[in-house]
Amino acid sequence: MRPVPTVGDPVARPGRIRGGRLFAALRLRKYVLVCVGVVVAYALVALAGYAGLLPDFQERVGASYEPPSWHLSRILGTDIFGRSVLYKVLVGTQTAMTIGFVVAAISIPIGVVLGAVAGYYGGKVDAAVVWVYSVITSIPSILLIIAIAHVLGKGIGSVCLALGVVGWVGLCRLVRGEVLKQKGREYVLAARLIGASDLRIIWRHILPNVLHLPIVTASLSILGAIKSEVILTFLGVGIENGESWGAMIQDATGELAQGIWWPLAGVTVAMFAIIYALNVSGDALRDALDPRLSD
Amino acid sequence: MIAYIAHRLVQTIPIVLGVAVLVFVLFSAVGEDPVRLALGAHATPETIADLRNRWGLDDPLPLQFVKFLRQIATFDLGESYNTGEKLTTIFRRGAGVSLSLTVPPFLIGILINVSIALLVAYYRGSWFDHAATALFVGSMSISYLVYIIAFQYLFAFELDWFPISGYERGVASIPYLILPWIIIVVVSAGPDIRVLRTVFLEETRADYVRTALAKGASERVVLFRHVLRNALIPILTQWVTSVPFLILGAFLMERFFSIPGLGDILINAIHTGDRPILMSLTVLMAIGYSVFNLITDVLYAYADPRVKLS
């Protein structure tokens, strides 16, 4: 029998410096490295798409609804117009990764800045920020996203904006709570005594101590955005023209009953790999940066 | 206690007001014109003017907003643009349907997920724990849509065990609901069990656990008798918070299985531009969310004497 307060994970061993612990975490577990590699590979596919290196998914490569065969362009079969499912999945990867990164790039800075300002200054500023995020959290998020995307019109830009505007709330609450805690520590008092300005205290002293929150949130917010895009597109407020995984899944609903399983299988596997990898990377980052939470 | 509840209820007023403003601006000021959506491209100017007048859209926006607030405050919500039916009737009917879809899997899920999470926490660090974690992360990595499409295809279309879609009132609805129930239970298992496992393991670090072990209680007794009871407090409050979302239903499920719940009503309203439904439902959801948050906090203080309400 093991003693109950287990710290089974070598990563969670206390007393090492933060950066060292992060690298130790990533080196110690091979499957975490594989997952990080998957995320990098997907990002590279997206970059290749922007560099014009991905094959044209609109081109016909065979007959309509050809099942998978041993030929690169038809390895995942073809769709109703004889287009390669593989190429469509790759373009969908570009869309998904773009949405993931843009949403994270919108929501994380908003969450950190508002959370830090609210937690540090308190008073009216805090009340205002808390009011804004209370309003946003009391509306079911998918409803608010649908409403915003509906108002802004269809397309990748409005999906990103809608997800980003709604997505900062959770991080803001975390950062605010942590800054509130850090504000009372001696090092902040010491910095103030030597005459550091508020901005400097927040930026140079407090922020590095709460930085693990946005880092861990990043992978979760990317995967959340990828999952949400699929649902938004399915509901008809997302992306049109079959350039996304959501649009492919929407098409697959009718195709499955005709025995055409390969488009759905292709999208599901592609999505599974990236979301699984982001989940594992996020957990590994959390364990490495915030050992209190690991088990 | 009563002072606390009153204080909290007063605090929700600005939040609900904020939601009302946000929703009103989103749908009235920037959204598409519902009259055009309803009448199509070939409507004459007279019919357009007539309908605008009937729906009160010619009033200045502040007046429209005040009217909207009065509707919310009096729970006299007006009528749907599309069917002319009273919103209160539509919502009551839809909420009943949604609850019949979401409550049974919610209760079954609690039972299953707590049991599995306890088991996983008991065998923490072993191959069983690692395999279970991998399985649950894997199950979370598949889109909700894919679950619905695949289960509907496999169990309703291919194997013909359940009807593909539809709904009937009362007990006759059960055959239609079993498959959606199963999907909800399966989809919620992954995230729920992971959270529960963390809660249980967090609890095993408490002092009372060390004391119980020191006096010679076996690990099994400690986990199932002491840890489970204490961990139920945070778990319970988490469940209460999710109750308002049960009323809204699982809207994707309702769409795929043609179940006429609130979620389905909402999505239809988005597509047809039925503003009264969208705005009222959103604000009602926000009120429900605030109230259940309050209930959660009160319950928490009631279940755990260490928590002081202030």
Could you tell me if A271 and A245 are in contact, meaning their C-beta atoms sit under 8 angstroms apart?
yes
Q: Scanning the structure block, which residue is given the tokens 């709904």?
A: B167
Closest chain B residue to A129, measured at CA: B15
**DSSP 3-state assignment of B273?**
coil
Q: Which CB contacts under 8 angstroms, 24+ apart, belong to A124-131?
A: A126/A176, A129/A172, A129/A176, A130/A176, A131/B14, A131/B15, A131/B18
Among B110, B149, B220, residue whose Cα is nearest residue A2: B220
Over residues A13-45, the pLDDT tens digits come to: 443 445 555 566 555 577 788 888 889 999 998
Task: Give the mean model confidence (pLDDT) for residues A62-71.
Answer: 76
In the numeric block, which tokens belong to residue A127?
């009340």
Angle at A171 between CA A168 and CA A173, to 5 degrees: 105
Over residues A155-177, the pLDDT tens digits come to: 888 889 889 988 899 899 999 99
Closest chain A residue to B280, measured at CA: A139
Contacts of B292 in chain A (CB under 8 A): none
B-facing residues of A in 224-243 (CB < 8 A) are 227, 230-231, 234-237
Could you tell me if A39 and A278 are in contact, meaning their C-beta atoms sit under 8 angstroms apart?
yes
Interface test mutation site (partner B, options A6, A124, A143, max chain B beta carbons within 10 A): A143
Cβ neighbours for A238, distance < 8 A, ≥ 6 positions apart: A149, A154, A159, A229, A230, A231, A232, A244, A246, A247
The whole-model pTM stands at 0.83
Q: Touching check for A253 and chain B: CB below 8 Å? A: yes
Orientation angle between helical segments B87-122 and B275-303, nearest 10 degrees: 40
* Smallest Cα distance from B73 to chain A, Å: 17
Over residues A195-247, the pLDDT tens digits come to: 989 899 998 999 888 888 898 889 889 999 998 888 888 887 777 766 788 88
* Smallest Cα distance from B33 to chain A, Å: 11
Asked if the ipTM is above 0.90, the reply is: no
Q: For residue A260, what pLDDT is reported? A: 81
B252–A137 CB contact, under 8 Å: no
Contacts of B140 in chain A (CB under 8 A): 275, 279
Cβ neighbours for B58, distance < 8 A, ≥ 6 positions apart: B52
Confidence at A1, pLDDT banded by 50, 70, 90: very low
Could you tell me if B252 and A231 are in contact, meaning their C-beta atoms sit under 8 angstroms apart?
yes
Over residues B254-285, the pLDDT tens digits come to: 888 888 888 888 888 877 778 888 888 888 88
A230–B145 CB contact, under 8 Å: yes
Q: For residue A101, what pLDDT is reported? A: 93
Among B83, B153, B175, B1, residue whose Cα is nearest residue A249: B153
* Smallest Cα distance from B170 to chain A, Å: 28
pLDDT higher at A277 or B68: A277
Q: Touching check for B213 and chain A: CB below 8 Å? A: yes
| In chain B, % of residues over pLDDT 90 | 2
Over residues A77-122, the pLDDT tens digits come to: 777 777 888 888 888 899 999 999 999 999 999 999 999 999 999 8
Q: Is the pLDDT of residue A6 over 50?
A: no
Distance separating alpha carbons of residues B54 and B58, to the nearest angstrom: 9
Among B255, B14, B247, residue whose Cα is nearest residue A234: B255
Distance separating alpha carbons of residues A168 and A166, to the nearest angstrom: 6
Q: B14 φ, ψ to 5°?
A: -60, -30
In the numeric block, which tokens belong to residue A188?
């902040």
Distance separating alpha carbons of residues B117 and A128, to the nearest angstrom: 39
Q: Touching check for A265 and chain B: CB below 8 Å? A: no
Contacts of B252 in chain A (CB under 8 A): 231, 234
Distance separating alpha carbons of residues B262 and B242, to the nearest angstrom: 16
Could you tell me if A112 and A179 are in contact, meaning their C-beta atoms sit under 8 angstroms apart?
no
Among A134, A154, A148, residue whose Cα is nearest residue A106: A148
Could you tell me if A266 and A89 are in contact, meaning their C-beta atoms sit under 8 angstroms apart?
yes
Q: Is the pLDDT of residue A9 over 50?
A: no
In the numeric block, which tokens belong to residue A261?
């399983």
Beta bridge partners of A60: A83
* Average model confidence (pLDDT) across chain A: 82
Q: Which CATH superfamily includes the segment(s) B89-262+295-303?
A: MetI-like (1.10.3720.10)
Question: How many C-beta atoms surround the C-beta of residue A55 within 10 A?
Answer: 14
Distance separating alpha carbons of residues A144 and B185, to the nearest angstrom: 25
Beta bridge partners of A78: A84
Q: B44 φ, ψ to 5°?
A: -80, 155
Q: Touching check for B220 and chain A: CB below 8 Å? A: no
Helix (H) or strand (E) holding A147: helix A141-152
**DSSP 3-state assignment of B21?**
helix
Helix (H) or strand (E) holding A286: helix A262-289
A135–B213 CB contact, under 8 Å: no
Question: How many C-beta atoms surround the C-beta of residue A222 within 10 A?
Answer: 27
In the numeric block, which tokens belong to residue B69?
């607030």
- The domain limits of chain B are 89-262+295-303
Confidence at B246, pLDDT banded by 50, 70, 90: confident
